[in-house]
Amino acid sequence: MSARHAEEAGAAPAVSVRDVCFAYGANEVLHNVAFDLPPRSLTAVVGPNGGGKTTLAKLIMGLRAPTSGQILWNGEDITGLDITERAKKGISYGFQQPPRFKGIKVGDLLSIASGKKLLRRGEACAYLTQVGLCAADYIDREVDTSLSGGEVKRIEIATILARNSGLMILDEPEAGIDLWSFNKLTETFSAIHEKRDATMIIISHQERIIALADEIAVIDRGVVTKSGTVAEVFPTIAAGAATGACPAFQ
Ligand SMILES: Nc1ncnc2c1ncn2[C@@H]1O[C@H](COP(=O)(O)OP(=O)(O)OP(=O)(O)O)[C@@H](O)[C@H]1O
Ligand SMILES: [Mg+2]
């Protein structure tokens, strides 16, 4: 833990998830999830498929409401706020499977995300470059089904960068991304974190992204089974990966 992170870890939490439960119908998939995230920290959320990571991200973004518990952002209880109100408060979420927007061009989507009526072409290009896209090839393309899965994923991450959020939640940003672009993305996340521009939650199965984090939280079957610094938690995940054992039970 860096001296700066240690200092931030002692500050009032940016995000507090308090005893949150959530059920899809009768199936409770999150059980009393609780944690605090220091301001401008990067937390990697990891764990087995179906463990509840995406569901938790949707609860923080306001796409779903918890059945019980509270979510606080900068000390304010936002549990009752909808997604638009949370977005206005600087929270953004990059979907595991991003939506497509037929009829909207990439440049327009970046303008909307930035909140500026007319985002300068140079600025839009800079966001695309940060996710490894050659801006000239994409800025005038529609965000429709003609884009590949990896392209649409990177465009969505560019919109999150354009949004300049206080809390960025990224759901498996590596999914479907080629190796070169993945390197670029990792550099981008590292640079944002280094500048301490935002509090970041990155759901990931990728070792190199997890290694960027200050803290790791393991979520398995709807429960936070482990949390701590990368130095504390990462070796147990790596050992589990090597043996094929479930990381949550190392
Ligand atoms: N819309 C839904 N309706 C019913 N059950 C759902 C729905 N979405 C998710 N689930 C279930 O909730 C549980 C948690 O799913 P979630 O998508 O949060 O897992 P995850 O940890 O993100 O998994 P992955 O690593 O595969 O992305 C799973 O058992 C899943 O089948
Ligand atoms: Mg998921």
If asked whether residues 152 and 240 sit together in one domain, one would say no
If asked whether residues 15 and 106 sit together in one domain, one would say no
Q: Which of 125, 146, 164 is the last residue of a domain?
A: 164
- Give the position, in ligand 1's atom list, of the atom nearest the Cα of 58: 18
pLDDT above 60 for 80: yes
CB 61 within 8 A of CB 86: yes
Ligand 1: centre distance to CA 94 (Å): 16
Ligand 1: centre distance to CA 24 (Å): 9
Considering the entire predicted model, what is its pTM? 0.92
pLDDT for residue 244: 63
If asked whether residues 22 and 63 sit together in one domain, one would say yes
pLDDT for residue 246: 52
Residues with beta carbon inside 6 Å of ligand 1? Answer: 24, 29, 49-55, 96
If asked whether residues 84 and 19 sit together in one domain, one would say yes
Please enumerate in sequence order all residues whose Cβ is within 8 A of that of 236, keeping only pairs 6 or more positions apart, or say none. Answer: 226, 247, 250
pLDDT for residue 239: 75
If asked whether residues 75 and 17 sit together in one domain, one would say yes
Residue 19 sits in which domain range? Answer: 3-90+166-249
Ligand 1: centre distance to CA 97 (Å): 13
